Structures are given as structure tokens and as C-alpha cells.
Amino acid sequence: MTGLAARSADGVTAGGQATELAFALEVAARAGELQMERYERVERIDRKSARDVVTEVDHLSEALILDAIRAAFPGDALLGEETGEHDGGAAGQTATSGLGRVWVVDPLDGTINYANGIPFFCVSIALVAAGRPGMGVIHDPSRGESFAATSHGPATLDGRPIRASEKPNLSDFVISMALGGRAAATRAREVRKAIRVPRSMGSAALALAYVGNGRFDAFVQQGGLSTWDIAAAGLIAERAGATITSLDGGPWFEIAAKTKSIGVLAAPPGHHGELLRRIADG
């Protein structure tokens, strides 16, 4: 897609990011089709670290997405999980500079699930403008669902507006939880005492997007996250009405954050503070 409308100072198109959103939805769906064509038929799995792997489908999906972005938005910077930073056309516009527009891509979040035939994984595409996510898409190929949001509009699921959980009682909450560090057991125990049940699903981006329509009442992860895990899903949860912060209560997104260093909590406004306190007290 070419012929973009004029942009305002914060990188938003005059059409309210409609061009970028439609583009991201289309490209994410194409990447999802590629993944489903090869689902449960992965030929090569490589070890990235002691607890992480990468498949040829990760690389093929990222190449598909980045090539499409370069063709449609040649001046924008890129940040992909598998290939790292690709600078934009403007002087000084590196992917992590916080300047200009940066497409942040996780081509296949939940690779271990995907490689093992577990249908919980997603494509994540976000557009970050002036250091803040302005548009995000999470596409779930196995369910054929697309979560989306822009900074100027509602969060949606397949085009229909969605809202975060409105359950009145924390004791009824089902949350996505992954707490680490030396005090992990204590933190987890403090949270478990207050809620119905925690779950750990293996795709942080998709689990965080689920906060947007209340499938998960909240999401908490202590570290282990990177910008491409949260850029799209965090915006979706936020625009759906959830409060999302770092685990010290500060801003949840920093484009230059160190890889796998991020921890976030997303929860309904009325319960965010209590969950944050329980994590901090652990």
C-alpha cells in the first residue's frame, strides 16, 4: 500500500492510522497463513538459548512482514525479533532512538508452542511513533482472530470493539502469570491467594491481548519480555480499558529497553493497584 496521507508531528496519519492498521492486519494474516501451512510440519528447529528455540517459520514469517513494510513504508525503521534493528531513512533514525516511526515485529510469538503443535501462538506487529505504540495488531492464526488497536480508537477483535474485564471481585480473576526472580514463590503465593487461578500460556503477546476482551482478567510477568512482545498487545489492552504499567508502577513501554528485561502488569483499573501491591510485597 502506498500513497500515504500526510502525517502529523506524532507520526499519525491524517486518516487516523487507518492505512497502517489495514496494512498490518493484512500482512499479519498473510504471515499467519504461512504458519498454518507448515503447522505440525516444521522441518528445522534451532536452539536460541537454554529455554528458547527458533524455527525456519519464524524467519520466513519475519522476512514476509519486513519485506512488505519496506515496500509500503520505505522511510520507516524496523525492529524484528529475529533480525534486530533496521534503520529508517531519516538521519539519526535508528530503530531504538525513539525518533520517527518504527515497526516492531514479533513474527511468531510462542515458537515452542508452535513447534510442539500447541495452538497458542501469534503474529505481533506494532507501529511506534515518537517512542510510543500508536498502532498494534495481534493475529492468532490457529483461531483466525485478529486483535487490533490504535492510540486514537478502540481496541477491537475482528473489527468489533472489545473491553477489558469488568469483574467486581479479584477473587474471580483468571490471570496470565509468570513471576521470576528470587522472590518468585512468595510473589506468586501472594497473587494466588487473591485470585481464582493463574495460567501460563507460552505466548506473552497473545495472553496480554486476551486482557483486551476479558479472556484473561489480568496479565503479569516479571522480566523476560522484550519490546516486540508487548508493543502491540500492551496497546490493545490499554485501549480496551485496562491499566498497564511496569512492575514498579511506571510506564510500560520503552523502545530502547534491553531484550528480555521487561516486566508488566495489565489489569482493570479498579484492581491494578491491589495486584501491584501484592507483587511488590512478595
Residues in CB range of 117: below 8 A, 6 or more apart: 39, 40
pLDDT for position 10 = 45
Phi, psi of 92 (to 5 degrees): 80, 0
Per-residue pLDDT at 266 exceeds 60: yes
> How is the chain split among helix, strand and coil, in percent rounded to 5?
35, 30, 40
Yes or no: say if 57 and 41 are a contact pair by the CB < 8 Å rule: no
Lowest model confidence (mean pLDDT) among 13-27, 83-97, 99-113, 119-133: 83-97
User: Contact at 8 Å (CB) between 168 and 268?
Assistant: no
- Grid cell, residue 35, equals 504458519
In tens, the pLDDT along 220-245 reads 999 899 999 999 999 999 999 999 99
| Domains, in order of start, for the chain | 18-161 (3.30.540.10), 170-281 (3.40.190.80)
pLDDT value at 186 more than 90? no
Tell which residue, 108, 144, 134, has the closest CA to residue 123. Answer: 108
* C-alpha R_g of the chain: 18
Using the predicted structure, report yes or no on whether residue 39 has a pLDDT greater than 90: yes
Beta strands in 5-162 (DSSP E): 45-49, 52-55, 77-80, 84-86, 101-109, 122-129, 132-140, 145-150, 156-157, 160-161
Q: Which of 66, 70, 63, 64 is nearest to 1 (CA)?
A: 70
Beta strands in the chain (DSSP E): 45-49, 52-55, 77-80, 84-86, 101-109, 122-129, 132-140, 145-150, 156-157, 160-161, 174-178, 197-199, 218-225, 243-246, 262-267
Percentage of the chain beyond pLDDT 70 is: 86
